[in-house]
Structure 1
Amino acid sequence: MSDSRWQTLEQHPELSWARYKVPNFASNCMVLKHGDGQWTVLSPGQELLDNWPGADDTVTTLNIVMPNGFHYMGVSAWQARYPNARLFASRQAIARLTSKGLRNILPLEDGQLALPADYQWLLPPGHRAGDVWLCKRSEHGNLWITCDSFLNYARYSHQPVARLLQKTLNAAPGLKISQVVKWFILTQRSAFKTWALQRLADFPPQLLLPSHGELDQAANLAERLQQLLERRL
């Protein structure tokens, strides 16, 4: 069954994403198709379960990735539908996720989750929540899928509590590093900043898909991210 919330890019047809609601905020779920019946889901949203791109597929392999210690709310529902799904997260995030009742989480650092060609996992240092990024090198434009390290809401939320938090925390509108990430999530801001600037130099993105907000697709994206890191951290 199709769902108009799901989006894809012509240059990256293996990747789809859709927005779902968590308390006071909107979040993105990303799904990556490896081959026939083989899927990886990042930050699964319960409300998307019936209409995700693999819903009508014969799913033989499902990997569920929690891209940090806070992105777990829809996981139990997906596990109930797909009991053979494997759970993955960064080592940094696993302790918190286990405290939320999730079990048998495999660390991405062990390399047990193979990715399609040109994709790779990146794990930022100095990040209390254990953020995980999924990145792709491509002649059509390098793609970064990040978690909470960056936000890109096009406007302030219409929801009063969310709007107040966004204004207070400088979390919208546009490309942002929120005050929460700066002061409470990043335990080593200098290490994170140095690492992120080096990744920008290694393979500058032309597309950014954060867990919260809109796709940012621009030729000057890497320059804007560099300026954001320099200014905020």
Structure 2
Amino acid sequence: MRTTASGWQVIDDDACILVHPYRFDGEATANCFIARMANGQLLVISPGCDMPEAAIREIGRYGQVGALLANNGMHWKGLEEWKARFPRARVFASADAAHRIRKQTSNAPRFEPLAGLTPLLGDTIIVTEMPASRIGETWTVVRRRQGAVWFASDLLTNIPRLTGPLLMRWLFRLTSSGPGLRVFHLAMMTTAHDRKRMLSQLLAGLTRFPPAVIVPSHGDVLHGPGVMDTARGLVMKALR
């Protein structure tokens, strides 16, 4: 994995799998994730807000932005900026995610359902909605010979060091949501209709598409030997 001058972490040049962190609500951070679809255009998941101009320009080296995906109803703050910058890009979200975003902002773009995104993805990219989520949670897998790359959204987190207000740091530790790779229990407390069902679906996905790289919505990219076993072990422990 390498990092470009504008801050993109390049996971796979051939598949154009890129990650760029961005800030929101002050000191909070999240990851913007890009992968090339079957039609040659780029899918942007969790479009970042207030990203550096150089990072946006650099995307043009990899292709045309064809689709924007709100991975759940919490990750919407960059949608307006990206839609203005790439007006031909189609915007997708699950029904529950779109509903929540429309309640949060009057500037929400027109969303298309996930069923309209599927034909653009081909066999390489798989976007899965979790029906047990209150916020239309999805996770995305990019299949490769070297092992799958996961965008785990708000299901897993990998924050190396807890910062911010004392109360938030305490909640992360109390719920075993950090530091390090963890099931994001703190988020699931408010976003899950059925936590056990969500975790069971996540475990089935990890088993079907063993990850070589995990990109959480929040925290560092995780790669290297043992990623699959570590992730599955955490989810299995959470299900006990």
TM bracket (short chain): 0.7 to 0.9
From 96, 113, 122, the counterpart of 1:107: 113
Letter aligned with residue 78 of structure 1: W
| Structure 2 equivalent of residue 227 of structure 1 | 233
> Is contact 2:38-2:124 (8 Å) kept?
no
Provide the residue aligned with 1:124 in structure 2: 130
Are the structure 2 counterparts of residues 173 and 61 from structure 1 closer, same or farther at C-alpha, using a change threshold of 3 Å?
A: closer
Structure 2, unpaired ranges of 5+: none
What whole-Å deviation, never above 9, does each CA across 1:144-183 have from its counterpart, x for those lacking one?
A: 11110110112222x3465455345433211112333332
Q: Is the Cα–Cα contact under 8 Å of residues 12 and 18 in structure 2 kept in the other structure? A: no
Q: CA RMSD in A?
A: 2.6
Matched with 1:44 is 47
Q: Which residue of 1 aligns with 2:79?
A: 75
Aligned residues: 231
Match of 1:22 among 21, 24, 40: 24
1:140 is aligned to 2:146: yes
- Return the structure number with greater helix share: 2
**Contact 2:80–2:109 (8 Å) recurs in 1:** no
Structure 1 residue ranges (4+ consecutive) displaced by more than 3 angstroms after TM superposition: 10-13, 33-37, 53-56, 58-61, 110-113, 159-170
Distance 2:21 2:48 in 1: 8
TM-score under structure 1 normalisation? 0.86
In 2, distance between residues paired with 1:56 and 1:151?
26
Paired residue secondary structure (2:44): strand
What does residue 84 of structure 1 align with? 88
- Partner amino acid for 1:31? I
Change (3 A) 1:201 1:39: closer
Q: Tell me how far 1:21 sits from its aligned partner.
A: 0.6
2:79, 2:109 within 8 Å by CA — same for their partners in 1?
no
Unaligned runs of 5+ in 1: none
Distance 2:14 2:159 in 1: 22
Q: Is the 8 A contact 2:8 2:19 kept in 1?
A: yes
How far apart are residue 105 of structure 1 and its match? 0.2
Q: Secondary structure at the match of 2:144?
A: coil
CA distance in 1, matches of 2:100, 2:203: 28
TM normalised by structure 2 equals: 0.84
1:125–1:195 contact (8 Å) kept in structure 2? no
Give the Å deviation of 1:61.
4.7
Q: Percent identity?
A: 25
Matched residues in 1 for 2:231 and 2:39: separation?
36
Structure 2 CA distance for partners of 1:10 and 1:178, relative to 1, 3 Å: closer
